[in-house]
Amino acid sequence: MDLYYLDQLASKIKTNRDRIARLRQELAELDSRMRDKAMEMEFARIIGYEYDDEDAESMRARLNSEIDALEEAVKNDMEAFINGLISQDLVIPIEPRPVEDGSGRGRGRLVYRYRDGATFTNFVAMLSTLLPKANIRDLSFMQDGIAIDAKDEREAKYKFVNSIREMQRILGRKVSVIASLQ
């Protein structure tokens, strides 16, 4: 289990959530059209014509079915994402030596860059939905690395390990809540 996989999973979750939002918008528009057609249906009934709106009902059922399937996929992917983060096999591909943060945010901040210049935009975005600002104690996940509030490399390693353990404990409780909702 590594951040590359979790970043792909986060991207899939985001895509599915966006699709759910679009489908819900389509469903709302369909419902609005159906309300408008209610008058037409009533008029047709009063004047003795049949008004068949079966297509709208089947479209509504299809949209609801698709939304349900996507919501189930998102729930399963979120559970897999959290399980990946709390896995003892989690690999975070960072360089072994940190560099000083050049952001001017003061002293005592070191950054471990991801190996091979990797960026994990989707991972960081998803983690920030689970944990405010993707921060755990002295550690902050960024798209291109992990920042740690520490004065030297030794302290950075110590805080890194402890912060990852803390993150896993926090998320372990969240996965229990998600599992209990099933």
What token pair was written down for 48? 């003795």
19 shares its domain with 57: yes
125 shares its domain with 63: no
Place of tokens 């072994």: 96
* pLDDT of res. 129: 87
120 shares its domain with 168: yes
Positive or negative: CA dihedral 168, 93, 118, 80:
negative
123 shares its domain with 160: yes
Per residue in 47-104, pLDDT tens? 878 766 667 778 888 999 999 999 999 999 998 999 999 999 999 999 999 998 766 5
7 shares its domain with 81: yes
Q: Which of 174, 95, 103, 99 is nearest to 132 (CA)?
A: 174
Q: In terms of residue numbers, what domain contains 82? A: 3-86
15 shares its domain with 41: yes
104 shares its domain with 170: yes
> How many distinct structural domains can be found in the chain?
2
Strand order in the sheet with 139-141: 99-100, 109-113, 145-149, 139-141, 135-136
Highest mean pLDDT (candidates 49-58, 137-146, 169-178) = 137-146
Domain assignment of residue 119, yes or no: yes
Residue 137 pLDDT class (50, 70, 90 cuts): confident
What token pair was written down for 108? 């005592």
Average pLDDT value for the chain:
86
Q: Is the pLDDT of residue 145 over 80?
A: yes
171 shares its domain with 114: yes
8 shares its domain with 82: yes
80 shares its domain with 120: no
Domain assignment of residue 126, yes or no: yes
120 shares its domain with 79: no
Domain assignment of residue 148, yes or no: yes
Domain boundary among 52, 86, 120: 86
The whole model's pTM is what?
A: 0.78
137 shares its domain with 76: no
Domain assignment of residue 92, yes or no: no
* pLDDT of res. 53: 61
* pLDDT of res. 175: 72
Higher pLDDT, 35 or 23: 23
* pLDDT of res. 54: 60
Per residue in 146-168, pLDDT tens? 999 999 999 999 999 999 999 99
Domain boundary among 86, 107, 141: 86
Domain boundary among 64, 86, 108: 86
